[in-house]
Amino acid sequence: DGGITQSPKYLFRKEGQNVTLSCEQNLNHDAMYWYRQDPGQGLRLIYYSQIVNDFQKGDIAEGYSVSREKKESFPLTVTSAQKNPTAFYLCASSIGYEQFFGPGTRLTVL
Amino acid sequence: GENVEQHPSTLSVQEGDSAVIKCTYSDSASNYFPWYKQELGKRPQLIIDIRSNVGEKKDQRIAVTLNKTAKHFSLHITETQPEDSAVYFCAAKRESGLFFGNEKLTFGTGTRLTIIP
């Protein structure tokens, strides 16, 4: 899991602004995922990508967008349409059965 | 789609005692069941997993059991220590041939385990 990086660690945004969270991996994993975690809650899937140039909506995709132009990168944009974006965002990648997580980005809307 | 339920949501045990967390899943085709441990403010870490072709797997103080007929699996931690305090998540997925390793995991809602010294 040390090969998955997320930046920034903390992010503050004003209401009405779009913001992009970075996720990079050097593990040569095909699949990448974005999860949202609220305090005391579980992991909810936002988007996932099984292969470059393809991605699917997860359970809570509304107000979010992604791209997968490179195998190593899977950025997540939190748009102004997301009404309650304050949360901890986790990126993950997988190979075989196992899935590994990045360190997370804590987004706070002011 | 898959639905995973996890119980209990909170669990407190005396140091040295055992802890058991249980999960049920709905999709009988699910064939991979990992457990993750998440410490406060940190990323979830894979601690043990089991595939549907075995009924039990053990790694030192941690074991996982799987009952495919009843569609439930459990995490067992023996001789608990203060560092076992964390949130534990179970998950399930169905691995198919086309995108092996690339299917999505469905997570349980988590169990906050507290070890009492």
Q: Is the dihedral of CA B5, B64, B38, A102 positive or negative?
A: negative
User: Residue A96: which of B101, B105, B107 has the nearest Cβ?
Assistant: B101
Question: Which residues does chain A have within 8 Å of residue B100's beta carbon, measured at their own beta carbons?
Answer: 96
Cβ distance A57 to A43 under 8 Å? no
- Taking 50 as the pLDDT cut, the residues of chain A under it are 1
Residue B86 contacts A, CB cutoff 8 Å: no
- Encode pLDDT of A56-82 as tens digits: 999 999 999 999 999 999 999 999 888
Contact A98 B46 (CB under 8 A): yes
Residue B53 confidence class, pLDDT cut points 50, 70, 90 = confident
d(CA A15, nearest CA chain B) in Å: 24
User: Residue A97: which of B89, B101, B110 has the nearest Cβ?
Assistant: B101
Cβ distance A33 to A93 under 8 Å? yes
d(CA A79, nearest CA chain B) in Å: 24
Calpha distance B106→A99 (Å, rounded): 12
Please give the angle made by the CA atoms of B84, B34 and B111, to the nearest 5 degrees. 45
Residues B89-109: what's their mean pLDDT?
A: 82
Cβ distance A78 to A63 under 8 Å? yes
User: How many other CB atoms are there within 10 angstroms of residue B8's CB atom?
Assistant: 12
Q: Which of B83, B46, B79, B52 is nearest to B65 (CA)?
A: B52
Q: Which of B102, B105, B107, B114 to mutate to test the interface with A (most CBs of A within 10 A)?
A: B102
Question: Quick one: pLDDT at residue B100?
Answer: 62
- Encode pLDDT of B16-45 as tens digits: 999 999 999 999 999 999 999 999 989 999
Tell me which DSSP letter residue A73 carries. Answer: B
Q: Which two tokens stand for residue A62?
A: 């509304």
Question: Quick one: pLDDT at residue A12?
Answer: 93
pLDDT cut 70: percent of chain A above it: 98
